[in-house]
Amino acid sequence: MRRAGRTSVTWSTARYLLLAGVALLTFSWLYAFHNDEAALSARMELLHMEQENQAVAHLNLPPLISGKSASLSGGHITQERTMDEQYDLDASSVTAQLEFAPPGEHPKVALMFLVKGSIPTEPIWRQFLENAGKLTLKAKSFKLPSVNLKKKLKNGFHPSISGLEESRYPGYKIQHGMVPPSKYRSTDYPHVKRRLLEFENIQEMAEEEPITRSDSQAANLTSLPLDGWRNASNAGCKGEQDALQRRATFLLNDERYGHDIYQQQDFFSVYVHASPGFSFPPTSLFSGLEVKDPANLTNAFALHTLIMAEMKLLEAALKEERNQKFVLLSESCIPIHPPEVVYAQAIHESKSRINACLDMFDYGRLELWRWKVKMETQFLKKGHWRKSQQWYILNRDHAELALKDNHIKEVFKRYCWSYGKHICVSDEHYFPTLLASYGLDDETDCLGEGTWTNWTAFGWHPKTFEPEEISPTLLRITMNRGWPPCDPLSARRTALRLFDVDDAVEENVNCSKKCMDERLEVMTKEWASEQADAMPDDWTMKGGYVPLGYECPIFARKFPADAIPETLNATLSCSGAALGPWCLRWHQSLSDQ
């Protein structure tokens, strides 16, 4: 009996151990599943370490830290916090309580365009700023307190690292052909091969005939469908369709001085970084708004040079004290909301729209294989490595930090570049990693979706929309990309509660009540209903604005030059971005409901 009892206990223990082992294996498999890209990154880093060292060796870069000494050959880490001294802000400038801003001193949003040359979407931005010029703020805005950046950072600024001669940086050598041509192609990298294979499988599963646009459609804007959700709406909204045609033709041939349009509004500041030597025509909206001494963007893809150009934009925009939000845009970016919504939403948000957060189940997204061992310092570790899309919306204090820090900036400038199998893309990693190194992760939205980009192309570049793909329906789908579902209709209905609208209306559109009721009904079904229980935690909500969530984009890209007529059609329509001047009146009537 005793022997049988011992046998029973033994088998019972074995069963428990077996179950525990199965559970452990299951957990390990799930963890490995969530971190498959992290594992791939680690393997790639080991495989390419030797090649990376060979690629770096011929560049003759001095180390960031040599032993215990702070002095370097060619650069040094200062023992004093020189950045603190240079940018010290008087503590007395910090306001203890929020105060109302005097009239005409409300905060502004800086629109910063990073481009090589012309901006094909200019007609859309002309209409956007022209509509902004018809708005006058009636809600009392808060005077934002000055931020003492030195006191905000727990340990102050990272020690400054002095720079090298410009010709010694890898980015400069790569741009100017001072290194031998790389024998590697982008498709040689394992992670790219895998994504291309996935894309090929998707193509085989869903093979479709390409959609082509007829010559008559390309020549005649009126032949393009106005409303994507229902053909019946076109008949009822004939007045808007005619107005769209007239307005689009006017904007495509607009010879007014863009400077006058820009100066008539007081909510947005505009800055442009174009290639050296490029200048906009005198009548352009962007003429005279270029930054001085622009960076050379020739062959600058995936190099730190792009960050240097962004710094030029931030430096110019920070000179205007009223600028509180800093939006980075490209030549193919468009607004997908009217200016009253863009302004109210940007000013309402307390966090920067950039992803500087660390998700333990999403290590693969960080692309840790791009981290280089030589980048590590006392203040920058591999655990700080982050990734976010390039097109951010920064708060003022984060923009100031980016400009004032000279530690992370120098590390990236020396070691974050792309050549051969050495891949490091500064424009995706620099800003989020900078914020993480200062412990400011929680001051970002952990999404970075201020500008929506379609990455279904599975390559190094996002999808560029074809003319036949662009419609008000596409913009409405873009607006509602988030989860929980976004509510652009409520934002539009309530944003105008903050403003007075100029009585002068250039375009009178006679849309039938049936048309407008039908449109409102469809948009209400597509989008969520207004959340009346929203807590008014800032002056925009106290004024009645119902904001979008951080998961809801405000801008979108890429809309190319050959699709400007279609893009105009989509952005002017009240069922698209609602930039048509007549949409102001409709939204104003909805705001009173």
pLDDT in tens, 546-555: 999 999 999 9
Confidence of residue 218 (pLDDT cuts 50, 70, 90): very low
Q: What pLDDT score does 225 carry?
A: 35
Of 378 and 154, more confident: 378
Q: What pLDDT score does 422 carry?
A: 79
Least confident of 40-49, 81-90, 351-360, 421-430: 81-90
Give CB contacts under 8 A, 24+ apart, made by 168-173.
Answer: 168/59, 168/60, 168/61, 168/74, 169/304, 169/413, 169/414, 170/56, 170/59, 170/61, 170/414, 170/415, 170/417, 170/419, 171/300, 171/303, 171/304, 171/305, 171/413, 171/417, 173/59
DSSP-derived letter for residue 384 is G
Q: What pLDDT score does 443 carry?
A: 94
Q: Residue 333's CB: how many other CB atoms inside 10 A?
A: 26
| 29 three-state secondary structure | helix
Predicted confidence (pLDDT) at residue 532 exceeds the cutoff of 70: no
Which amino acid does the sequence have at 450?
A: G
What is the average pLDDT across 431-444?
95
Distance between alpha carbon 468 and the CA centroid of its chain, in Å?
Answer: 25
Q: What pLDDT score does 134 carry?
A: 93
Least confident of 160-164, 294-298, 299-303, 446-450: 299-303
**Closest C-alpha among 239, 232, 241, 229 to residue 512:** 239
**Closest C-alpha among 125, 133, 453, 478 to residue 336:** 478
Proportion of the chain above pLDDT 90, given as a percent: 42
Q: What is the pTM of this model?
A: 0.77
Of 130 and 592, more confident: 130
Proportion of the chain above pLDDT 70, given as a percent: 66
CA–CA dist 392, 273 (Å, integer): 16
Of 518 and 300, more confident: 300
| 496 three-state secondary structure | helix
Q: What pLDDT score does 462 carry?
A: 82
Predicted confidence (pLDDT) at residue 436 exceeds the cutoff of 50: yes
What is the average pLDDT across 167-173?
87
- Across the strands, what pairs with 326? 110, 394
Q: Could you read off the pLDDT of 51-76 as tens digits, one per residue?
A: 444 444 445 555 554 333 333 323 33
Which segment, 3-17, 255-269, 409-423, is predicted with the most confidence on average?
255-269
Q: By CB neighbour count within 10 A (0-12 exposed, 13-18 middle, 19+ buried), where does 225 fall?
A: middle
Read off the tokens for 52.
């990376």
Which residues neighbour 232 within 8 Å (Cβ) at sequence distance 6 or greater?
A: 518
Predicted confidence (pLDDT) at residue 185 exceeds the cutoff of 70: no
Confidence of residue 77 (pLDDT cuts 50, 70, 90): very low
Q: What pLDDT score does 39 carry?
A: 45
Q: What pLDDT score does 47 carry?
A: 44
Confidence of residue 453 (pLDDT cuts 50, 70, 90): confident
Half-sphere exposure of 264 (CA within 13 A, CB side): 17
Predicted confidence (pLDDT) at residue 429 exceeds the cutoff of 90: yes
Which amino acid does the sequence have at 565?
A: P
Q: By CB neighbour count within 10 A (0-12 exposed, 13-18 middle, 19+ buried), where does 428 fall?
A: buried
Which residues neighbour 326 within 8 Å (Cβ) at sequence distance 6 or greater?
A: 110, 112, 314, 317, 392, 393, 394, 395, 396, 399
Predicted confidence (pLDDT) at residue 463 exceeds the cutoff of 90: no
Is residue 20 within 8 A of residue 12, CB to CB? The reply is no
Q: What pLDDT score does 332 carry?
A: 94
- Mean pLDDT, the chain, integer: 76
- What are the distances in angstroms from CA 185 to CA 181, 192, 386, 418? 11, 10, 25, 12
Is residue 89 within 8 A of residue 148, CB to CB? The reply is yes
**Closest C-alpha among 131, 113, 134, 343 to residue 247:** 131
Q: What pLDDT score does 516 carry?
A: 61
Of 99 and 391, more confident: 391
Q: What pLDDT score does 387 carry?
A: 92
Of 342 and 167, more confident: 342
